Chains A and B, each alone.
Chain A
Amino acid sequence: MIRMFHVDKNYPNKIQALRDINIHIKKGEFVFLVGATGAGKSTFLKLIYRGIVPTKGQVIVDGINIARLKPGYIPYLRRNIGIVFQDFKLLYDRMVCENISFGLKAVGATNFEIRQQVKKVLNLVGLENKRKIKPHLLSGGEQQKLCIARAIANEPLILLTDEPTGNLDPYTSWEIMKLLFHINIRGTTIIMASHDKLMVDKAKKRVVRLERGRIIEDTQRGIY
């Protein structure tokens, strides 16, 4: 599903964010990306959704070489990738259901499909009864669930989550994790950047450790 070959990423201020990254993530895998702040986790995720291009090397996502992808085709790549952020990035002037529907509208879904899909994902994350309220009235955990609902509404092949439990208490974090496991079981490849030792250890999934832009450890059923 995702392959990286000898990938380097340097930023204009000469910071080497990633160095000689080689990795293969298979379809349906759940991968934790761990490492200290500045280790290159976010850069790793950005390369996958083509927020940036590699300075050197190749990044192949679902058979597409993202460095060669023309700007006009980026939206079509992203329709196969759901993204969940630590800071949610929700639209607070719109209702819960509108936060999901506007993303679906953006990818050309019909009104009928949008209604069906919004209902389905809100049920999945347990926010069906809060569909008509504004996100600022939701708790932190609920906002993150909404963010996940929006990311999976389009039924993407890959779900990228950047520290989704970073601001949540352990109980809510585990709720989110269970939701992500559930999504993963349905076939979605998940890459989760995390600092959350407790969750990583408890999950017993593949752990890729980054340090100063390099992969220093890649373990199946690993710990933090």
Chain B
Amino acid sequence: MIFENMGFYFREALLSFRRSTLMSIAAILSITTILLIVGFFLLISVNLNLFLENLESQLEIIVYLEDNISQAELSTLTNNLNSITGIKEVKFVSKEEAYQRLSKDLGELKDILSAIEKNPLPASFEIQIKDPKTIEQIANQVTKFIKVEEVEYGREIAERLLNFTYIFRRAGMLILALLVFSSILIISNIIKITVYARRNEIEIMSLVGATSWFVKSPFIIEGFLQGFISSVLSTIILYNFYFFAINKVHQAIPFLPLVVDKVDLLPIGIAIVLLGSLVGVLGSMFSVGKYLNV
């Protein structure tokens, strides 16, 4: 019965759009606005996340080596380091390279190095890790290797940074959850108003012996269409606005990490469309149910 009458339900849903054009437009615009706010926050949180990841990726472990390390020991150590799980990249910095870096860093003051007879800087490994949370554990593991003089990873800074990013992410998730929750409430209330305007129709249908699915189906389709159109509309507005805005931001602050790949933003578009459509369907289903009990 449900599928037999699919054409009728769609026709009824579209007719109802036409019969109450103003009401439908008002509903679509209101839902679009709510979804724009949700989408805007999602875009901010995605970029914030990228910024935090960027910060975290700058955390690294520096392993200073003893001066008397042999070539064979160095090779063993390199293999050992590479075999540790969770390591992204291991880079060897020789004593000479370290000296050159220092000399470069000192700039005009590099002459003071001439007062030193022998290169005092140790050779080292610079280790980048995959997950910043494992930094301490990996550093402890590396300390135990032979010919390792000292391991440095800026423990305090790392802890502070990780705490900061943790709090930021949690706060973001909480705000997002609240925003999604309130948008669900608002959208379902908008749908409820459109259903309320047609409660007479629901009552009459119910009294002439229409099954509850027969009554609900056109409303569900209408709710879905309202949610879907609104979400597609808000996604289009959001994307256009976003790419316009990041162009401007890039011109002003070129080094700021921003999500620029359209594919990376696809999940946000999908989430908004799903949210709008689903709330449209569920909102109308529950609202009609309320007026069906006559």
Using CB atoms and an 8 Å cutoff, list the residues of chain A in contact with chain B: 49, 51, 71-72, 75-79, 81, 83, 89, 91, 93, 102-103, 105-108, 150, 154
Contacts and interface: CB of A to CB of B under 8 A. Distances in A.
Nearest to A111: B8
B1 interface: yes
A75 B211 contact: yes
The listed residue with most B CB atoms (<10 A of its CB), out of A79, A83, A91, A150, is A91
A47 B205 CA distance: 18
A71 B216 CA distance: 15
A106 B294 CA distance: 16
A150 B208 CA distance: 9
Contacts of A107: 208-210
A8 to B, nearest CB: 21
A75 B212 CA distance: 8
B201 interface: yes
Contacts of B20: 93
Nearest to B16: A93
B19 A78 contact: no
Given A51-B294, A93-B19, A106 B208 contact: yes
A170 B134 CA distance: 91
Contacts, number: 51
Given A89-B200, A93-B19, A108-B1, A102 B209 contact: no
Secondary structure class of chain B's binding surface, majority of residues: helix
Given A51-B294, A106-B214, A108-B1, A79 B209 contact: yes
Shortest 4 CB-CB contacts between residues of A and residues of B: A106-B210, A79-B209, A78-B209, A103-B208
Contacts of B126: none
Contacts of B208: 78-79, 83, 103, 106-107, 150, 154
A11 B206 CA distance: 22
Contacts of A91: 200-201, 204
16 contacts: A72-B211, A75-B209, A75-B212, A75-B214, A78-B206, A78-B207, A83-B207, A91-B200, A91-B201, A102-B205, A103-B205, A106-B205, A106-B209, A107-B209, A107-B210, A108-B1
A102 B205 CA distance: 8
B203 interface: yes
Given A103-B208, A150-B208, 11 more contacts: A51-B294, A72-B211, A75-B206, A79-B209, A83-B208, A91-B204, A93-B20, A105-B5, A106-B208, A106-B210, A108-B1
Contact of B204 (A49, A77, A89): A89
A105 B8 contact: yes
A162 to B, nearest CB: 11
Contacts of A76: 209
B21 to A, nearest CB: 11
The listed residue with most A CB atoms (<10 A of its CB), out of B209, B211, B294, is B209
Contacts of B205: 102-103, 106
A207 to B, nearest CB: 26
B221 to A, nearest CB: 15
The listed residue with most B CB atoms (<10 A of its CB), out of A71, A106, A150, is A106
Interface in B183-230: 200-201, 203-212, 214-215
Contacts of A75: 206, 209-212, 214
A93 B204 CA distance: 14
Contacts of A102: 205
Interface in B277-294: 294
Contacts of A106: 205, 208-210, 214-215
A106 to B, nearest CB: 3
A132 to B, nearest CB: 16
A97 B211 CA distance: 21
Nearest to A150: B208
B125 to A, nearest CB: 72
The listed residue with most A CB atoms (<10 A of its CB), out of B204, B205, B206, B211, is B204
Interface string B2-20: 0001001000000000011
A123 B206 CA distance: 25
B202 to A, nearest CB: 11
Nearest to B207: A83
Contacts of B206: 75, 78
Contacts of B294: 51
